[in-house]
Structure 1
């Protein structure tokens, strides 16, 4: 055996790596989701953080009758307004990012430490925003479903019949269903079992299952507990008297609508601080713009896997 074949006399991998440059990634935040809900809503700028939702109070009384041909008298009506309309106040989702100046001075190549800390924190704030839009006890979607707009599944698992029932509640230009990804999978299995596999549609470069032409939008912020979740159906947009998002425009340090980043200074311990603030809310303009299918059961296999993994 020659001397050069002895591994003790050759440069090893561990030593050689000391001279190599590693290719590094920016910090990967696994909790980031597409946040389709915020993309699909119409966002309305709110002055002074207050949105007053005025409504006609005598809508059922507004009735126009056709007069007979030989009659010239015209019927008269008037719309009265709610004397105490609901007012929505923007909610704040905020956090402070602290970073030592020594860290940002010495270790900002190839990635800027301040920029990466802010990026990850902003993504977390936006994830919290979507969760609040769905689950906030005051303005969230689930807290603002009118009792007349709540339906329950026929068998537990989400079926085409259940989604058709939702469509009878939001039949005026429905925009999309919103539910947990596991509920979409369960609905797809029910459709396949019945021999009616749902078609797909492309939105934002991604494929979504549809029912009656309405896309099923996934969000892991829709609550899932004890093997059950919910399916929401929304009509969106101000012109359609639907669900709208609310934000504060023209914030100091604005990075995107309703979100700002402001430098708060450096303390005597050389810690630099940045305030991230996002102001938002949500309004359901009319009760028939939103409905929910409650107690939707996901497949027992998934329930088992999540309980015992």
Structure 2
């Protein structure tokens, strides 16, 4: 008969063991490439006025049609009398942390800092979504009608991408599309024998078309959702020229905020209430402006379903 040996059990030993912990992992965080790729302009007053030349004949045509006494063109370039003004949009939240929690459970990670970090990530995710979908300044709502095209087949084809380039031919910077739309682009290009090349930006690979990177963002919704269910669905694809010097698309942010943590973002301590809860106000001020109509174009109602599922 085997001798029974008494030994320390795993459950008891666990009580003496150190546990290696991570900070809270937030699956909703994305790279937010759009925010990284836009040029940003700081505002001091919270208002940005976009002055434009009156369109019609080009300024050169206007000047050259008015000859002075010595045969030199003369005249002036007229401006729009009611230019659009952009005002800062505020995205805000309040974080509450009981002092008892931060006093007792603050090692190895600072509870307040972790709460603020996660709230900042949420605000920045919302910021990218607003830059695309806000009904006032969002890119989708401000593409000129002349810069909108429909897909030839419903699926995003090389011909469609070329049509976008024809609309934004002055130094286009990048395409912007939902990841599933990018997968559809890859399928269609490969099916036609022209698989997209790749380029490395920020240490990550991106598909390209005609040398222009195709940037993913789940804020360009499919059927109104970031993470749509099923294989089918409709979305939009943008082509953007960015930069003020190129009369492109720019981001706007409020500068010199009290408690400024990063571009347009402030964190302010609001005090501790009688219930022992400390409150922190987080505010992010941003907007976007399309400086010229031809700085952006949109391919509308793109089907992201697998092409071969529809044969």
Measured in 2, the distance between the counterparts of 1:125 and 1:102 equals 26
Shift of residue 58 of structure 1? 4.3
CA distance in 2, matches of 1:57, 1:87: 16
1:3 partnered with 2:3:
yes
Question: SS at 2:301's partner residue?
Answer: strand
CA distance in 2, matches of 1:293, 1:48: 35
Change (3 A) 1:13 1:303: farther
Does 1:278 find its partner at 2:276?
no
Could you list the structure 1 runs, at least 4 aligned residues long, displaced by more than 6 angstroms after superposition.
301-304
Corresponding residue to 2:119 among 118, 121, 140: 121
- Provide, for residues 16-53 of structure 1, a one-character-per-residue CA deviation record: whole Å limited to 9, x for no partner: 21111110000001000000000000000112100000
Question: TM-score of the superposition, structure 2-length normalised?
Answer: 0.92
What does the per-residue CA deviation read over 1:78-101, in whole Å, with 9 as the maximum and x for residues that have no partner?
111111100000000000000000
Aligned residue in 2 for 1:17 = 14
1:4–1:59 Cα change, 3 Å: farther
Q: Structure 1's 34 and 167: CA in aligned 2 closer, same or farther, altered over 3 A?
A: same
Task: Confirm whether residue 238 of structure 1 aligns to residue 244 of structure 2.
Answer: yes
Deviations 1:126-168 (A, max 9, x none): 0000000000000000010000000011111111110000001
SS at match of 1:174: coil
For the residue of structure 2 that corresponds to 1:178, the secondary structure is strand
Distance 1:44 1:264 in 2: 29
Q: Is the counterpart of residue 190 in structure 1 residue 188 in structure 2?
A: yes
Equivalence for 1:211: 209
Aligned to 1:40: 37
What's 1:307 paired with? none
TM-score by length of 1: 0.93
The answer to whether the 8 Å contact 2:184/2:306 transfers is: no
Go from structure 1 to structure 2 and tell me whether the alpha carbon gap of 1:203 and 1:281 turns closer, same or farther (over 3 Å shift): same
Between 76-85 and 294-303, report the one with greater CA deviation.
294-303
Secondary structure of the 2:57 match is helix
Q: Does the CA-based 8 Å contact 1:157-1:296 persist in structure 2?
A: yes
1:166 paired residue among 164, 167, 177: 164
Give structure 1 stretches of 5+ with no counterpart. 305-309
Q: Distance in 1 between matches of 2:307 and 2:9?
A: 48
Structure 2 residues not aligned, in runs of 5+? 224-231
The residue correspondences of 1:125-140 to structure 2 (distance < 5 A) are 125-140=123-138
Distance 1:188 1:60, change over 3 A: same
Report deviation, 1:66: 10
2:228 matched residue in structure 1:
none
Q: Return the alpha-carbon distance in structure 2 between the equivalents of residues 61 and 213 of structure 1.
A: 31
Structure 2 CA distance for aligned equivalents of residues 3 and 48 of structure 1: 84
Q: Give 1:11 shift.
A: 2.2
Aligned to 1:229: 235
Who is 2:293 aligned against? 287
Q: Is the 8 A contact 2:64 2:74 kept in 1?
A: no
Structure 1 87/219 Cα, relative in aligned 2: closer, same or farther at 3 Å? same
Q: RMSD of the TM alignment (CA)?
A: 2.1
Contact 1:4 1:10 in 2 (8 A): no
**Cα separation, partners in 2 of 1:50 and 1:303, compared to 1, 3 Å:** farther
Change (3 A) 1:191 1:301: closer
